[in-house]
Amino acid sequence: MARTNFNEIRITTRDGLKLYARHYPAAGSRLNPALCLPGLTRNSRDFHALATALSDPGSGAPRAVYTLDFRGRGLSDRDGEPKNYAVPVEAEDVIEVVAALGIAGAGIIGTSRGGLVAMVLAAMKPEILGPVVLNDIGPVLESTGLERIAGYVGKASMPGARPNTWAEAAATVKAIDQQQFPDISDAGWEAIARQRFNEADGRPVPGYDGAIGRSITLPEGPLPTLWPQFDAMSAIPVMVVRGALTNLLSEETVAEMGRRHPGLAVTSVAGQGHAPLLEDASTISAISRFLSLADKP
């Protein structure tokens, strides 16, 4: 992975943890920046292709992009208190990151958990949000998708299950996600493994704190929804990216989101499930167009 087009940043939170972020600069650009928020166990590396494209001077309309590792993920500090791996705490972290970077009004691109954080921020502090892209997430989470996620989170961090080579790491992620991404090649799975796992001495190591797995509980009965938080984005431009094979975000939920937010932009990613990789030219172009329409002078 090329490291020449971004700068590394560390931001200290109110409770002393250091969060890792990347800044993909766009020299001279006057467009609003974008801030990318990753999924439950994912990190800033997921957005490298998207951030590179959006900030590319050759695009004609480059914008600066920031990508964040939530606490306990990627290169951010682990939290000694597992209960802090919660959406409200992560939303507070984003508020601090936005203030530290001076990017209030940035476009938010939230994958899965990152999209939940964006919806909560709309209820907590809407003035810091620019347009929002929700990547395969909405106010209603399908139980089938949640059960699949709960079934693997934390497992790869257990000592006996940790891969020793990048080929083993690729096999691990392929076993988890092949049904959601049936068209990915073996080389593609290794690239994804290098996004999800950290690296130490040339070998893969867990890319997130295994304690995050203990923070996931599936309630008995109906799952709670976030319609009030989504409705708080009524004055904010919103786009939904949905994987055609996803089992977490239903077409019915997207239709209801469109009814409640008449300006909702929707794009579907063929051949991908939860959550779309945001690496194909069509999806990147759709996100770029959406952010451009929402730019303020």
Q: Are 207 and 264 in contact (CB under 8 A)?
A: no
Structure-block tokens of residue 190: 């290794």
Average pLDDT of the chain to the nearest whole number:
93
Q: Are 274 and 297 in contact (CB under 8 A)?
A: no
Q: What is the pLDDT of residue 1?
A: 46
The structural domains of the chain, with segments of one domain joined by +, span 7-154+208-293
Q: What is the pLDDT of residue 159?
A: 47
Which range has the worst mean pLDDT, 40-44, 94-98, 149-153, 284-288?
A: 149-153
Mean pLDDT throughout 116-123? 98
Give the model's confidence band at 166: pLDDT under 50 very low, under 70 low, under 90 confident, else very high: very high
Mean pLDDT throughout 30-44? 97
Q: How many angstroms separate the CA atoms of 53 and 214, rounded?
A: 36
Q: Is pLDDT above 80 for 297? A: no
Q: How many angstroms separate the CA atoms of 253 and 243, rounded?
A: 13
Reduce the DSSP state of residue 108 to 3 states and report it.
Answer: strand
Fold of 7-154+208-293: Rossmann fold (3.40.50)
Instruction: Decide which of 270 and 147 is more confident.
Output: 270
Q: Is pLDDT above 60 for 158? A: no
Give the model's confidence band at 191: pLDDT under 50 very low, under 70 low, under 90 confident, else very high: very high
Contacts of 166 (CB under 8 A, 6+ apart): 190, 193, 194, 203, 204
Q: What is the pLDDT of residue 53?
A: 97
Reduce the DSSP state of residue 29 to 3 states and report it.
Answer: coil
How far is residue 277 from each of residues 41, 82, 192, 257, 271, measured CA to CA in Å?
Answer: 14, 28, 9, 22, 11
Q: Is pLDDT above 50 for 225? A: yes
Give the model's confidence band at 150: pLDDT under 50 very low, under 70 low, under 90 confident, else very high: confident
Q: Is pLDDT above 80 for 142? A: yes
Q: What is the pLDDT of residue 17?
A: 98
Q: What is the pLDDT of residue 151?
A: 84
Give the model's confidence band at 154: pLDDT under 50 very low, under 70 low, under 90 confident, else very high: low
Spell 195-233 as b/e; 16+ CB within 10 A means b. Answer: bbbbeeeeebebbbbbbbbebeeeeeeeeeebbebbebb
Q: What is the DSSP string of 63-106?
A: --EEEEPPTTBTTSPPPS-GGG-SHHHHHHHHHHHHHHHT-TTE
Q: Is pLDDT above 80 for 219? A: no
Structure-block tokens of residue 248: 């977490």
Could you give the percent of the chain with pLDDT greater than 70?
94
Q: How many angstroms separate the CA atoms of 125 and 120, rounded?
A: 8
Q: Is pLDDT above 90 for 215? A: no
Q: How many angstroms separate the CA atoms of 87 and 119, rounded?
A: 10
Tens of pLDDT, residue by residue over 168-179, are: 999 999 999 999
Give the model's confidence band at 162: pLDDT under 50 very low, under 70 low, under 90 confident, else very high: confident
Give the model's confidence band at 16: pLDDT under 50 very low, under 70 low, under 90 confident, else very high: very high
Give the model's confidence band at 4: pLDDT under 50 very low, under 70 low, under 90 confident, else very high: confident
Give the model's confidence band at 156: pLDDT under 50 very low, under 70 low, under 90 confident, else very high: low
Position of tokens 């020793």?
164
Could you give the percent of the chain with pLDDT greater than 90?
86
Give the distance from CA 131 to its chain's centroid. 15
Q: Is pLDDT above 70 for 214? A: yes
Give the model's confidence band at 98: pLDDT under 50 very low, under 70 low, under 90 confident, else very high: very high
Q: Are 144 and 247 in contact (CB under 8 A)?
A: yes
Q: How many angstroms separate the CA atoms of 169 and 174, rounded?
A: 9
